[in-house]
Structure 1
Amino acid sequence: MANPPNVREPETRESAARVAAQRPGTHRSWAETREQLRAAATTEPGRLWIIGTVVALLLVAFGGVTAWEISDRSAAASDVVNRSQPLSADAASIYRSLADADTAAASGFLAGGQEPLDVRKRYDTDIATASRLLVKAAANTTGSAESAQQIATLNEQLPLYNGLVEQARANNRQGFPVGGAYLRFANQKMSTSLLPAAQKLYEAETGRLYDDYDQADTWPYAATALGLVALGGLVWVQRRNYLRTNRVFNHGLLAATAASTVVLLWLVVGHAVASSDLSTSRTHGQESLKVLNDARISSLQARANENLTLVARGAVLNDKGKDLYEASFTKEMASLSDQLGAAVKLADDSTGKAPVTKAKDDMAVWQERHTAARKTDDSGDYDGALTQVLGAKGSTGECFDQVDQALDSAIAHEQHEFTTAASDGRGALTGLPLGAAVLAVLAAAGAGVGISRRLAEYR
């Protein structure tokens, strides 16, 4: 008699579970979990448990991502206020101090062997300020290779420049003509080494500032999306509950919805307010400061070139055969005019516009007096031209001082505008990361309580 054919036992849930039990631990656990979920999904209590778990995880994820993204934006806003903008301002001050020192050196040289005490003090103060700010910048610009390179260049070249100025002074006191050559060489080093390095340092630090602005202003898309999904899930669960039980409210789910709504509104409104304030600080604060700093530097360089025109007495020509320093003066005054015009447009109130308008008026008088001084010098009256440039009253030096003081007032006002707006932007995010995390946990707990009340009805 033939052996009966092998009959394979039908696959059932019990046999599948038995086969899974014979597999390695990891596969067995996954199979058991899958079977449990499949079985749970066929009953209303099981579905409720799955729904509650998913909603709770969504709410916790919403709170965690919100706390993470807003902490990142808040840190960037704090960097704008406390690190990158002050470093950018310090870099601008380094540039201004160096340019002013060059102007003071030329003014002191023109005054003769007995350099005026106030001019010497101004030069010494500028050099000391630049040195101090370089030390500060070196300590705070960690991670920026470009900034470190420019700081090294400035630290290397500044003592050399100072030495050339001292040589010019020593020869000028003894009446040696070579003093003028030393001063022109010092100005060349300032123009070709120190000021370009200071400009690159300023641009690098300002670039970092704008990077922090962009990071702080980036919208928290992930947190917003999770918040909408979590709220949508809560609304769906409550509608499902209503359709199955005719109960309008589930207190736990209602509390979870309220907490999630608060977090989402806090996120949207808080970040929108912060973004608006930071945008204001950038447009009406930082952008104005940048233009005003550029204008002040142009005025300083124009003044230095004006002085050097008298020091060189036409001995230095450009590639077009014209007086190098007079041509540079004309170029810097044109830049100053453009920058003052831009500063007037950026100023958003009368307090900011008034000093800039005054600087424009003083600049116009400066140009008129400079033209008169050049005519006097060209006619052979060097001493008369010197008085028109360095005199206390009615000189171009008086106009330069007035322009510098007006720009200083405008910069102080715009710095205050920046600090106020940027601090408000940072403040709009204060407390949001912690608040979002706490409310999200409470929302998850509320959802859990609401679902557990429904589960209790099946026991």
Structure 2
Amino acid sequence: MAITSRAPAPGGGVPVPPAGPSAPPPGGPPRGTAWAEGVERLREAATTEPGRLRIIGAVLAALIVLFGTVSVWEISDRAAAADDVVGRSQPLSADAASIYRSLADADTTSSSGFLLGAQEPREVRQRYEKDIANASRLLVSAAANTGGNEDSRKQITLLSEQLPRYTGLIEQARATNRQGLPLGGAYLRYANEQMTTQLLPAAQRLYESETKRLYADHDDARSWPLASIGLGLLAVAALVWAQRRNYRHTNRVLNHGLVAATAASVVVLLWLAVGHTVARSSLNEARVDGQESMKVLNDARIASLQARAGENLTLIARGAVLAEDKKSDKYDVDFTNNMKQLDAGLATALRLADDEAGRSPVGRAADGVEQWKQRHAAAREADLKGDYEAALPQVVGDDEHKESSGAAFDTVDASLEQAVAHEQREFTRAAGDGLGALSGLVTGSAALVVIGAAAALLGIGRRLSEYR
């Protein structure tokens, strides 16, 4: 066996083992880890110009790619919100308003048919049936498209349950009235009470819920893509700095790759800012000139329908239902209040109308309201004198009374329907323009950013080739 001898320690002391590898210095990452090796290589690379160029190229490419990724994400989100405004939330809000109008019109038409009794024209009955069918169809559509909106679903369920009860009461009132029994008026008043206390409030809440979602989608579509714009400015600033650094080190004014990367980034940034500005402007126009006008016109039309129902029920009840003061006829008071709301709504609609096509039907409606008031006053005067037979044709019309309050109401209703249709077209056009301003921006941004990142790497690579 070989024996290894150790050198004696100086002075005859204990032998000292040979020195091994030095211990790692205190502090700093331990040697041998991937992180430490990466940091060391980066530090070493930063001490040479080629290494610094590689780091600059990687940072520029990463910054441009990050700018593009965030831009695509933010614009996709806003384009989806704008698409919801055009294709989902606004149609649902409009359908909810149509449900309310259909129910109010059905109530008004049923009272008109009741007054006409056995002489009820077929078109009056068909209008009532059309209103009920339209409300039922829109409820089914709303239930299928309202999504996870719990409040809307609750109102749709209530409307679906109460509508058959209302139509049952109307049929009972109609059948009893045809038999000449006074109980028919009680059934009709009860049906009207159910409409005004159950169905119409539920339809109003449904409309408000869907309109709230429309405004939320609208705000999402109009919100500025601040993160994208900030990153875009940072990327452009970094590219300008890299070109200035290149000029100071080489006295060369242009680096084609960096210039191309800067151009691509600037185009994306300008496209992003200009496209979103145009989209915001169009969506704002859709909201102010379209949606707000439609809301006012829908409210005015509903007030006119309720006023007409109150006018009819005044003749049907004949003072049997009193207002809160226990002196006035409830339905006549309702008529007066609704006409005040109608006047205020038409004045606001005229102020919001921004073109002749919008103002003209509102003006005709206002003229019709004045005629309606005059004819109603004449009919009411005859009724208060106890001359029901003279008052009735002045309200519902006949061969000798073409200029009845009912004819004036028809003029108002048709004019408001035309005004609503015009504003709906204006909204659809403006909102579509807003959505169109965002179309192509996602794909174009992604493509230009890829080009920009590649150009930045090529530009840095061109400088690196000078060191080989």
Fold-level match, TM-score > 0.5? yes
| Matched residue, 1:137 | 142
1:88 aligned onto 2:93: yes
| Matched residue, 1:231 | 236
Query: Match for 1:399: what amino acid?
Result: A
User: What do residues 100-147 of structure 1 show as CA deviations (whole Å, max 9, x unaligned)?
Assistant: 000010000000234221111110000000000000000000110000
1:377 aligned onto 2:388: no
Partner Cα separation in structure 1 for residue 383 and residue 15 of structure 2: 128
Aligned pairs for 1:23-422 within 5 A: 28-321=33-326, 322-392=328-398, 393-422=402-431
Shift of 1:76: 0.5
Distance 1:370 1:71, change over 3 A: same
Partner Cα separation in structure 2 for residue 452 and residue 235 of structure 1: 17
| Matched residue, 1:25 | none
Query: Match for 1:20: what amino acid?
Result: R
Partner Cα separation in structure 1 for residue 129 and residue 119 of structure 2: 16
Query: Match for 1:357: what amino acid?
Result: G
TM-score (norm 2): 0.94
| Matched residue, 2:433 | 424
Shift of 1:375: 0.7
User: What do residues 295-321 of structure 1 show as CA deviations (whole Å, max 9, x unaligned)?
Assistant: 111100000010000000000012211
Shift of 1:177: 0.4
Partner Cα separation in structure 1 for residue 369 and residue 442 of structure 2: 51
| Matched residue, 2:447 | 438
Query: Match for 1:173: what amino acid?
Result: R
Distance 1:4 1:315, change over 3 A: farther
2:29/2:36 contact within 8 Å kept: no
Distance 1:451 1:379, change over 3 A: same
Distance 1:273 1:443, change over 3 A: same
Moved more, 408-417 or 110-119: 110-119
Partner Cα separation in structure 2 for residue 118 and residue 4 of structure 1: 123
Partner Cα separation in structure 2 for residue 256 and residue 172 of structure 1: 82
Partner Cα separation in structure 2 for residue 441 and residue 301 of structure 1: 61
**Could you say what secondary structure the match of 1:248 adopts?**
coil
Shift of 1:358: 1.1
Partner Cα separation in structure 2 for residue 297 and residue 3 of structure 1: 110
Partner Cα separation in structure 2 for residue 378 and residue 18 of structure 1: 100
Distance 1:178 1:267, change over 3 A: same
Shift of 1:350: 1.0
Shift of 1:190: 0.2
Partner Cα separation in structure 1 for residue 172 and residue 317 of structure 2: 16
Shift of 1:8: 10
Query: Match for 1:398: what amino acid?
Result: A
Partner Cα separation in structure 2 for residue 396 and residue 352 of structure 1: 25
2:236/2:265 contact within 8 Å kept: yes
Query: Match for 2:259: what amino acid?
Result: L
**Could you say what secondary structure the match of 1:142 adopts?**
coil
| Matched residue, 2:31 | 20
1:355/1:407 contact within 8 Å kept: yes
Query: Match for 1:238: what amino acid?
Result: Q
User: What do residues 346-398 of structure 1 show as CA deviations (whole Å, max 9, x unaligned)?
Assistant: 11111101110111111011111111111110011101110110115111001
Partner Cα separation in structure 2 for residue 120 and residue 344 of structure 1: 33
Shift of 1:18: 11
Shift of 1:20: 1.4
Shift of 1:445: 0.2
Query: Match for 2:407: what amino acid?
Result: E
4+ residue runs of structure 1 moved beyond 3 angstroms? Answer: 1-13, 15-19
Distance 1:18 1:143, change over 3 A: closer
Distance 1:341 1:3, change over 3 A: farther
Shift of 1:17: 11
Query: Match for 2:41: what amino acid?
Result: Q
User: What do residues 222-242 of structure 1 show as CA deviations (whole Å, max 9, x unaligned)?
Assistant: 000000000000000000000
1:17/1:32 contact within 8 Å kept: no
1:84/1:208 contact within 8 Å kept: yes
Partner Cα separation in structure 2 for residue 244 and residue 12 of structure 1: 39
TM-score (norm 1): 0.96
Query: Match for 1:147: what amino acid?
Result: S
Q: CA RMSD in A?
A: 1.9
1:362/1:399 contact within 8 Å kept: yes
Distance 1:361 1:232, change over 3 A: same
Partner Cα separation in structure 2 for residue 387 and residue 149 of structure 1: 42
Partner Cα separation in structure 1 for residue 277 and residue 20 of structure 2: 67
**Could you say what secondary structure the match of 1:112 adopts?**
helix
| Matched residue, 2:6 | none
Shift of 1:456: 1.1
Query: Match for 1:166: what amino acid?
Result: E
1:252/1:446 contact within 8 Å kept: yes
Query: Match for 2:391: what amino acid?
Result: A
1:113/1:169 contact within 8 Å kept: no
Partner Cα separation in structure 1 for residue 343 and residue 354 of structure 2: 19
Query: Match for 2:444: what amino acid?
Result: G
Partner Cα separation in structure 1 for residue 409 and residue 87 of structure 2: 33
| Matched residue, 1:24 | none
The answer for unaligned runs of 5 or more in structure 2 is 1-10
**Could you say what secondary structure the match of 1:111 adopts?**
helix
Select 2:465's aligned residue among 442, 456, 459.
456
Shift of 1:434: 1.0
